[in-house]
A = this chain, B = another copy of it.
Amino acid sequence: MYEGIVQDLIDELGRLPGVGPKGAQRIAFHILAADPADVARLAHALSEVKEKVRFCSICGNVTEEQTCRICRDPRRDQTILCVVEEPKDVVAIEKTREFRGRYHVLGGAISPIEGIGPDDLRIRELVARLADGTIVEVILATDPNLEGEATATYLARMISPLGVAVSRLASGLPVGGDLEYADEVTLGRAFEGRRRV
């Protein structure tokens, strides 16, 4: 309905998650009326992120360096590893201030429906990190939903024989939800009450 490039922008915005056609139109007209410097900053932020952000070579978290801030921090406990699905889960857990170990980001969860198997996740890298015996405890902090539970069960079976203590976040997280949406207290309690599996 709009002329060329306005419609192009609406189409591009409409492809973002959580932005419907009406929302895309609203954002497009906000952009039309906005200060050019603000829009340039947004366009720049988009390009920068794609250009500079990569994944930490140790844990798989997002970073601008070879390794992420947490893996580089010598004050973090190297003997405890928390396994999560996505980088945003790292942020959620960091907010609780309950955990002082390091992370391992799988890049998703096992999901036969979506065709994601163990080989599509960073499980081989996880096993490699456990090889030298530095890590004595692994906390499985995958999402408390079907895929996350399946992934945790799979990892527990694989890691337990290596002589590493394996635990799962305690119930207290609402089942069927996403880890990133849990409130900080609930997530903190879940850390406190983790159980051996």
Contact = CB atoms under 8 A, between A and B. Distances in A.
A3 B63 contact: yes
A49 B48 CA distance: 20
Q: Tell me what chain A mostly uses at the interface: helix, strand, loop, or mixed.
A: helix
Contacts of A53: 5-6, 32
Contacts of A75: none
Interface string A164-197: 0000000000000000110000000000000000
State how many copies of this chain the complex holds.
Answer: 2
A9 B68 contact: no
Given A18-B23, A39-B46, A1 B95 contact: yes
Interface stretch (A84-92, A117-125, A126-134, A152-160): A84-92
A44 B47 CA distance: 9
A64 interface: yes
Interface of A: 1-6, 8-9, 12-13, 15-19, 22-23, 25-32, 34, 36, 38-50, 52-53, 62-64, 68-69, 86-88, 91, 94-95, 180-181
